Structure 1
Amino acid sequence: MKRRTFLQRIGSILAVLGVTEAEWLTLGSRYYQALAQSNPRKLALLIGINQYSQNPSLSGCLTDVELQKELLMHRFGFPASNILTLTEEQASREFIEAAFLEHLGKQARPGDVVVFHFSGYGTRIKLGTDTVQNALVPADLQNNQNVNYLLEETLLLLLRSLPTDLVTAVLDTSYYAPTIQPPGLRIRARPELVDTELASAELEFLKQLKTQNSSSKGEVIPPLLLTATVDPKQSSREVLLSGFSAGLFTYALTQYLWEATPAKTIQVSLSQVESSMRKLGSKQQPALLNSKKNSLLADNFVFDSTIGAEGAIAAIEEDGKTVSLWLAGLPPQVLEYYGVNSRLSLVTGEQLILRSRTGLTAKAQLSSLDSTTPLQVGQLVQEAVRVLPRNINLIVALDTALERIERVDATSAFATVPHVSTVVAGEQPADYLFNKLLQTPTRYGLFSAGGEPILNSAGEVGEAVKVAVQRLAPKLPTLLAAKLWRLTENQGSSRLAIKATLEIINSISPRVVMQRETMRTVSSETSTNKSLRIQNSALSTAIVPIGSRMQYRLQNMCNRPIYFILVGLKNSRSAIAFYPWQTPSEPDSAQTTPLVKQLVIAPGETFTLPQSAAASEWVIAGPAYECEHQLIFSTTPFTETLTTLETAKNSTTDQQPIGPVLNPLEVAQAILQDLHNASPVKAEINGTAADSYVLDVNNWATLSFNFQVA
């Protein structure tokens, strides 16, 4: 289709492009600064393609566009009329380039915000005899032996041609298709085609851009480029969540942006996005590429909405008391189990009670039907009460590559394991995947939802399916326990003012590895410490060297004492906990069973973990492993949790600060019960407390730390 026809079809919508991707750049100070300004125009183009005629369909690209659009409208106040989306067959190379030229290029002025976003396939193509380039795959990808790709070089030249320094491109795609496809996953990369040539129109357009760029006067301003992977050979993946699929990176990033505040370092922001991706079972790492590296995000600008949220009112029903909510700000692992009677607060103080939920949308009612408070579309909602079911199972997906008899045997075997359910991979969300090893198809093992093999979960060659399940059964309660305590994560919504820093102790001063803090309570003054130096780059997982002495520094900025515990998972298979051993008051005491004590931080005080001089020898031993810690805080003691820990840990000789948890599932259930007991609001939710955990954001906080020991 000719460009004139394209412009006639798009019509007036093209006259006012909005910024959708600008949200993504919330990770760069230029991006935050742009959002803070009220006068500049904000122009953006969102592109998502699921259906490709000559490739397997993707599932999450249209959801990505929706996630971005809703985020921009409700979190940052962009009018819907300012957001242009090109999806499916509309997203041809010609349409994309025409939209860029006519409505980004012709409208952008110095100081304006311009954002480009793409979700779909990427690939590589050979140009000439030696050059190989990255390319985005549009909807009209191939015509005989000519491929109609949009070269990454073309896109970068278009971005650099804009007269503003607030230009951002976000690419949720990748370019190298793995030789062996990970089980149960959709990868946003198509194999490089041989014996094909790039469409002559694209080559001619690229030539024109190069000519214009070389003849242009003044400084060429580099765009800020946010990509789904830090390694060019990593794969951008999709994930099946509660009733929808999405780009793993897009969902993790937009969820973070709903709750985030601007006073964050790039390192902290990307670290938390990557941490969220890891909880969904992937080692994919995002990247922020920018020639002007700003280590801090601007913290002195006024936003359309200065508060974080878990979602917003998307529609109001005729009675004026019932609303439709968009809840993309909830952590993905929580969304699946976010139960009826959960409560969300409006800025006005009114509360909404959740009545039903499907995917990212929910129905809710005002808690007081006599309220005269007018509800409005776009009002932000913040989590107040989280209701979780007590009967949560571990979900194991059976890969469709298994033979029918293998799936039958696996279903039968898993049915005998308590608290475990099975589904067909790709049809429903799952926590783990049961499948054959790719390299040795006669061995069975367990994989994360992101396709990563669980260490030491593979059996011997020729092992029967039922034997494999029986072998895996003892590991499953630990994985379920980790699932349960991850459901308590609420860094974004907690009303307890807590900050936790992971440090390596040395002879000079502690070296900061990671820092987490509750977002809704800590002021920008305390949350941006300009003297803080994060040890590791945000583009890679935090690393603690083997042999390090480690500690946590915990700050209670509340006006009441706070109790806490630490639990975790090592190599996705072994549960661990911090044991605060209690020293007998009398040396000759007849007490033979060691006891653990409550850990409490006084108001306004800082607590180091381990606390005593002897326990400070928390030396990280080898070999290398991956670790996930949950620091869980409460306004009341963890009575049931410590009792449960003592039940299984009675050794008097091995009183190390970090030790294995022998009954992890019981400990996880006790944690949830303790948090439930700490929530006085449970008495107000009739008929819910018996079969659910009711957690009040005013009474608990959970901060998550993921790092690698190497």
Structure 2
Amino acid sequence: MPLTRRHFLQGTAGALGAIGLSQLGLTRSANRYGQVLAQDTPRKVALLVGINDYPNNLSLRGPLTDIELQRQLLIHRFGFEPSDIHILQNQDASRQNILAAFQQYLYEPARANDVIILHFSGHGDRVRESDRMENFLRQLNRRCIVDGECFNTAIATHSTTTTQDIMGHTLLLMRAALAQKTKNVTFLLDCCYAGGGRRGNAMMRSLNTALGDHDNLRQIPDSEWDYQQQLLDILQWDSQKFVDAIQSPKGQGFFVGSARYNQLAADYEFDGFTAGAFTYLLTQHLWQSTEPLSKTISLVSNSSNYLAEHSQTPIYDPTPEADPAVTHTPIYHMEPVALPAEALVLGPVSDKSNHDRVKLWLGGLDPWALDAFDQGATFALIDKTTGTELAEVQQVDGSRNGLVSEGRLSNSTQGIRAANVTTQLLQEKVRGIPAQVTLKVGLDDTLLASEQLTATNKLARLANIEVVPVTAGQVAHVLLGRYTPAIHQRLALTPETAQQQQTLGSVGIFSPAQVPLLAGSFGEAGEPMDRAIDRLSNRLVSLYIGRMLALMVNQQSSRLDVSLVVDYLDFRSGTTTRGGDPEAIIIPRTVGGVLQIVDGHRIKVTVNNNESQDLHVGVIVIDAAGEVNVLFPPAASDRNEVDIIAQHSSWSTQLQGAPPFGMAELLVLVSPKSLVGALKKLRQNLPQLDRSLRTGQALANVDAMDDIFGVMSTQRGGNDATQNTRLLEAEQVAILSMFVEILP
């Protein structure tokens, strides 16, 4: 949900050292210069800033990955020239270098209709106003720019002192200066402003480690006020207009932030790499589709909330009410120049004996499906503008390292070789569900060493549950931990997270960002660890089944033309596959763009089959407690045809909102084969969360899921290493996902 203008400024404020405008080459004549520019061909230019290296044990692992995610996206999807993407990282990303690069590459050459992007990934901070700003506010009979909130947030440049930070107020002025030359300006910040340090298996992007402490903030120097005054002179704004702009809901150009000003932004461990949760989800989404800014952020917000369980909500400015342009203008003020893709070819493998081997970049893959691209995956190498398939690229099994992998060219229609396919795009044809899937459970540091030992021994008895260390570079799908006063205090700071507070001293399941994950998973205070594992075993098995289902979700890549619509009262939410009509993607007019359903109220679920063949459908719901429920086909029917959707027709059913309250995931499986038998077997073997795990049940669950994979899979792996890998073809099956929230 977008914030007011004042929160944008608090979300981007900080302390800027004194570099005079004359040193940057900014003079008042620049304003007049911008009004008489010749109408040259618009440029597309970006300044990408990423900082991993910070002092005092607050280094990050993800910002440099963020920069590469953006660089590859801008070049290969949006058509930026590599020479027009300017990068500052680590020690080169000082305050002086950032401002000099802004002047040299963004501001000075800007022309009308140029597209300009500034992206920052690193730490944020919170600071107090300078003495001169405070004196100015007193003259206006104000204590703060925003009543009751006498602090500003900052982006932390590569430095050891606060005086080197860059204020959000200054970023506002920089955006405004650019907007005098071109309206196509986007600033993106992936950082947060309080509560820094490690949370579970994620690092938070703030130098300020305290939460809610406004009394001990460091004060920015008066030189910052001087610098702002010079920028105000460029803009011909008086001080009152500056304050008015801070409080206004409408800014110049677009601003996008990874979290609200009072939330945490995570440096997140993905499978084989670390990245900003927001940046990876945003760039991955933009590889697939480019809706207007307001719709894009709503869709990404759903994904980031899934990762952090409501602790990170992306924001944007201006609001739709202040400027309707955000409802019809893409985030980068332009449409992509290339088709959607999951991957691209970086170049040939250097080994001269492998003339058909290529190096791949996998930045367009869904983060929850990465394990399905380790063995057996196949891509179509396409013409980036027409979509014509030029060849197949079979992923080299076991070659993936994070987002980089290797592939082998085959079935070329034009004699294409590895040496001449660099920068070509790849679309998914086949994914490979591993024969062995595990749920990785991290043991949080809120557990005593003796408790971790007990948990390790008990969890070892559960099939496909893998205990992993909670450490940098290690993926943990969930954490097992104890709810402490420190976690309780952190959750109390925002209304969204306050709803997730639990009993102090209880054991339960957390997200990797140390947020309580499942409704009802926390027990009594002081519960012994062995008893807690017995109580939680069914929930872990249910989470394991959910993880296997997540590997199948392919709505972004499926070629089947099917769509899903949910109607509730006057609200509608919709999604579709790559093969469907983009207009079928419907974001409800609700907080965060998620459909909110009141307990006891009914919704209508509709699946549209736009194919020239009959298809079979199944519906599964994973509720806020993590319990998996098969809702369709009905339990009473064994007829294989009961789940058919005839060609060019629709199928509908009604569902009712019910506890547990919180986020629930609706999964729709579409296949040319009947799903009745497989889903019936899964229903019979699903764990009951309020019962003890029966002997052999975990293995029965695996067998039931294997039946699901068998129905959805059209082939098996073709060699000894992959013969048990389940291969899902994008042209044959579709698994769509949608989140809804159940309210009391």
Same fold (TM over 0.5): yes
Aligned ranges 1:122-271 → 2 under 5 Å: 122-127=124-129, 128=131, 130-131=143-144, 132-142=151-161, 147-162=163-178, 163-177=181-195, 182-191=199-208, 194=216, 196-214=218-236, 222-229=252-259, 231-260=260-289, 262=290, 264-266=291-293, 268-271=295-298
Whether the aligned pair in 2 keeps the contact of 1:164 and 1:221 (CA below 8 Å) is: no
Aligned ranges 1:280-319 → 2 under 5 Å: 280-283=307-310, 284-290=312-318, 291-294=322-325, 295-297=327-329, 305-317=337-349, 318=352, 319=354
Deviates more, 1:478-487 or 1:468-477: 468-477
2:574 corresponding residue in structure 1: 515
2:86 corresponding residue in structure 1: 84
TM-score (normalizing by structure 2): 0.78
> SS of the counterpart of 1:358?
coil
Tell me the C-alpha RMSD between the 2 structures. Answer: 3.3
How far 1:668 moved relative to its partner? 7.3
CA distance in 2, matches of 1:183, 1:631: 32
1:627 corresponding residue in structure 2: 664
Structure 1 residues 160 and 631, CA, compared in 2 at 3 Å: closer, same or farther?
Answer: same
CA distance in 2, matches of 1:38, 1:277: 39
CA distance in 2, matches of 1:221, 1:496: 41
Number of equivalences: 631
1:588 corresponding residue in structure 2: none
How far 1:473 moved relative to its partner? 1.2
2:589 corresponding residue in structure 1: 535
Structure 1 residues 403 and 642, CA, compared in 2 at 3 Å: closer, same or farther?
Answer: closer
CA distance in 1, matches of 2:215, 2:44: 37
Whether the aligned pair in 2 keeps the contact of 1:282 and 1:449 (CA below 8 Å) is: no
CA distance in 2, matches of 1:473, 1:583: 29
2:303 corresponding residue in structure 1: 276
Q: Deviations over 1:476-521 (max 9, x none)?
A: 11110111111111111101011111111x5xxxx343111012x2
Deviates more, 1:430-439 or 1:183-192: 183-192
Q: Is 1:703–2:740 an aligned residue pair?
A: no
> SS of the counterpart of 1:258?
helix
Aligned ranges 1:474-623 → 2 under 5 Å: 474-504=538-568, 506=569, 511-519=570-578, 521-523=579-581, 526-527=583-584, 534-537=588-591, 539-581=592-634, 598-608=642-652, 610=653, 616=654, 618-621=655-658
Q: Deviations over 1:91-118 (max 9, x none)?
A: 1111111111222110111110111111
Gaps of 5+ in 2: 1-16, 25-38, 135-142, 145-150, 209-213, 383-388, 486-502, 687-695
Structure 1 residues 265 and 105, CA, compared in 2 at 3 Å: closer, same or farther?
Answer: closer
Structure 1 residues 501 and 512, CA, compared in 2 at 3 Å: closer, same or farther?
Answer: farther
> SS of the counterpart of 1:629?
strand
Aligned ranges 1:370-389 → 2 under 5 Å: 372-374=415-417, 375-389=420-434
Q: Deviations over 1:524-569 (max 9, x none)?
A: 5x547xxx783325x3533123332201121111111111111121
> SS of the counterpart of 1:202?
helix
How far 1:273 moved relative to its partner? 1.7
Work out the percentage of aligned pairs sharing the same amino acid: 26
Structure 1 residues 441 and 643, CA, compared in 2 at 3 Å: closer, same or farther?
Answer: closer
1:105 corresponding residue in structure 2: 107
Whether the aligned pair in 1 keeps the contact of 2:47 and 2:119 (CA below 8 Å) is: yes
Whether the aligned pair in 1 keeps the contact of 2:392 and 2:412 (CA below 8 Å) is: no
Structure 1 residues 415 and 221, CA, compared in 2 at 3 Å: closer, same or farther?
Answer: closer
Whether the aligned pair in 1 keeps the contact of 2:553 and 2:734 (CA below 8 Å) is: yes
CA distance in 1, matches of 2:464, 2:670: 27
TM-score (normalizing by structure 1): 0.82
How far 1:407 moved relative to its partner? 2.2
1:26 corresponding residue in structure 2: none
Whether the aligned pair in 2 keeps the contact of 1:556 and 1:606 (CA below 8 Å) is: yes
Whether the aligned pair in 1 keeps the contact of 2:117 and 2:185 (CA below 8 Å) is: yes
Aligned ranges 1:343-422 → 2 under 5 Å: 343-347=378-382, 348-355=389-396, 356-368=399-411, 372-374=415-417, 375-422=420-467
Structure 1 residues 575 and 665, CA, compared in 2 at 3 Å: closer, same or farther?
Answer: farther
Aligned ranges 1:662-681 → 2 under 5 Å: 670=704, 673-681=707-715
Q: Deviations over 1:19-61 (max 9, x none)?
A: xxxxxxxxxxxxxxxxxx9941012111111111245111111
**Code of the aligned partner of 1:408:** L
> SS of the counterpart of 2:390?
coil
> SS of the counterpart of 1:186?
strand
Whether the aligned pair in 2 keeps the contact of 1:444 and 1:459 (CA below 8 Å) is: yes
CA distance in 2, matches of 1:298, 1:181: 34
Whether the aligned pair in 2 keeps the contact of 1:175 and 1:190 (CA below 8 Å) is: yes
> SS of the counterpart of 2:530?
helix
How far 1:670 moved relative to its partner? 4.0
Structure 1 residues 349 and 562, CA, compared in 2 at 3 Å: closer, same or farther?
Answer: farther
Deviates more, 1:636-645 or 1:188-197: 188-197
**Code of the aligned partner of 2:580:** V
Structure 1 residues 2 and 82, CA, compared in 2 at 3 Å: closer, same or farther?
Answer: farther
Structure 1 residues 324 and 181, CA, compared in 2 at 3 Å: closer, same or farther?
Answer: closer
**Code of the aligned partner of 1:213:** L
1:94 corresponding residue in structure 2: 96
How far 1:679 moved relative to its partner? 4.2
CA distance in 1, matches of 2:697, 2:736: 22
Structure 1 residues 436 and 76, CA, compared in 2 at 3 Å: closer, same or farther?
Answer: same
Whether the aligned pair in 1 keeps the contact of 2:18 and 2:223 (CA below 8 Å) is: no
CA distance in 2, matches of 1:281, 1:663: 30
Q: Deviations over 1:57-97 (max 9, x none)?
A: 11111111111111112222322222111111111111111
> SS of the counterpart of 1:351?
strand
Aligned ranges 1:389-468 → 2 under 5 Å: 389-427=434-472, 428-439=474-485, 442-453=505-516, 454-468=518-532
Q: Deviations over 1:328-359 (max 9, x none)?
A: 11111111342222101111331111111111
1:682 corresponding residue in structure 2: 716
**Code of the aligned partner of 1:709:** I
CA distance in 1, matches of 2:456, 2:701: 28
> SS of the counterpart of 2:599?
coil
**Code of the aligned partner of 1:331:** D
**Code of the aligned partner of 1:190:** L
CA distance in 2, matches of 1:700, 1:335: 18
1:16 corresponding residue in structure 2: none
Whether the aligned pair in 1 keeps the contact of 2:124 and 2:154 (CA below 8 Å) is: yes
Deviates more, 1:183-192 or 1:307-316: 183-192
**Code of the aligned partner of 2:195:** A
Q: Deviations over 1:585-614 (max 9, x none)?
A: xxxxxxxxx889631111111221x1xxxx
> SS of the counterpart of 1:336?
helix
Structure 1 residues 307 and 228, CA, compared in 2 at 3 Å: closer, same or farther?
Answer: same
How far 1:422 moved relative to its partner? 0.5
**Code of the aligned partner of 2:313:** Q
1:654 corresponding residue in structure 2: none
How far 1:663 moved relative to its partner? 7.5
